[in-house]
Amino acid sequence: MSQAPALALAIVISGRGSNMVAIAQACARGEIPARVARVIADRRDAGGIARAQALGLETCVVPARDFPDRGAFEAALRAAIDASGAQLVVLAGFMRILSPEFAQHYAGRMLNIHPALLPKYPGLHTHARALAAREPEHGASVHYVTGELDAGPVVLQARVPVLPDDTPDSLSARVQQQEHIIYPRAIGWIAAGRLRMGANGPEFDSRPLRQPLMEG
């Protein structure tokens, strides 16, 4: 019996691309039945582009500041994604808010990872906000992308304890360690056909996913 082709991924980044590297390495090791078709950055100085090239991945830069408005940028970004043949769009440290129209084009085919236990702390500065609120725990969430910021269905989360001497940087480092575990795992589930977006929301192993799965 022939093996199903690996799921093609377009990974979209803005920065150094640590989650991109974790996903690409999981693909290369054969841990998940997926392959990185293209890494796309919205900034020429995104450090993740050099890291992707060092891994032998195809890269593309679509500089947002070169376009007159969000619509023009998103049209170019969409063209770069679609030209790669990607079946799943993976936002990995992508720091721009996408329009509802863009999200709808990739409905059920676009994931994001957010450094908080959604629905808590959508948006920026999540670690500082969690510390200011004296949260006992913090974490990361993998979710499908919808037209509302960080509000799409969450499919997998990981928790970390908040320690008495934590700073935003130390908390961020521990959360990011978990991100590098759960993001490849969620992508692997999609590639294996275990996780999908159904008509009424996410389904895992052919059953409705009523609440996020939890790492550990």
Quick check: is 107 in a domain? no
For position 1, what pLDDT does the model report? 44
Same-domain pairing of 77 and 159: no
Each residue of 94-153: pLDDT tens digit? Answer: 999 999 999 999 999 999 999 999 999 999 999 999 999 999 999 999 999 999 999 999
Q: CATH code at 69? A: 3.40.50.170
Quick check: is 182 in a domain? yes
Range of the domain at 30: 1-96
Quick check: is 36 in a domain? yes
Same-domain pairing of 79 and 13: yes
For position 153, what pLDDT does the model report? 98
Quick check: is 63 in a domain? yes
Same-domain pairing of 120 and 203: yes
Quick check: is 183 in a domain? yes
What number is the average pLDDT over the span 44-70?
98
Same-domain pairing of 78 and 123: no
Same-domain pairing of 118 and 213: yes
For position 3, what pLDDT does the model report? 63
Same-domain pairing of 129 and 161: yes
Evaluate if residue 59 carries a pLDDT over 80.
yes
Identify the CA nearest to 83 among candidates 162, 138, 10: 10
Same-domain pairing of 90 and 40: yes
Same-domain pairing of 82 and 171: no
Start-to-end CA distance of the chain, whole Å, equals 34
Kindly report the backbone phi and psi dihedral angles of residue 49, in degrees, each rounded to the nearest multiple of 5, phi listed first: -65, -45
Same-domain pairing of 19 and 57: yes
Residue numbers annotated as active site: 114
Kindly report the backbone phi and psi dihedral angles of residue 174, in degrees, each rounded to the nearest multiple of 5, phi listed first: -70, -40
* Helix 18-28 and helix 47-54, axial crossing angle in degrees, nearest 10: 10
Q: How many domains does the chain have?
A: 2
Same-domain pairing of 89 and 176: no
Confirm whether pTM is higher than 0.95.
yes
Same-domain pairing of 68 and 13: yes
Quick check: is 47 in a domain? yes
Same-domain pairing of 135 and 67: no
Quick check: is 213 in a domain? yes
Task: Give residues with Cβ within 8 angstroms of 111, minimum separation 6.
Answer: 88, 89, 90, 91, 142, 143, 144, 145, 183, 186, 187, 190
For position 216, what pLDDT does the model report? 63
Quick check: is 104 in a domain? no
Residue 100: how many other CB atoms lie within 10 Å:
10
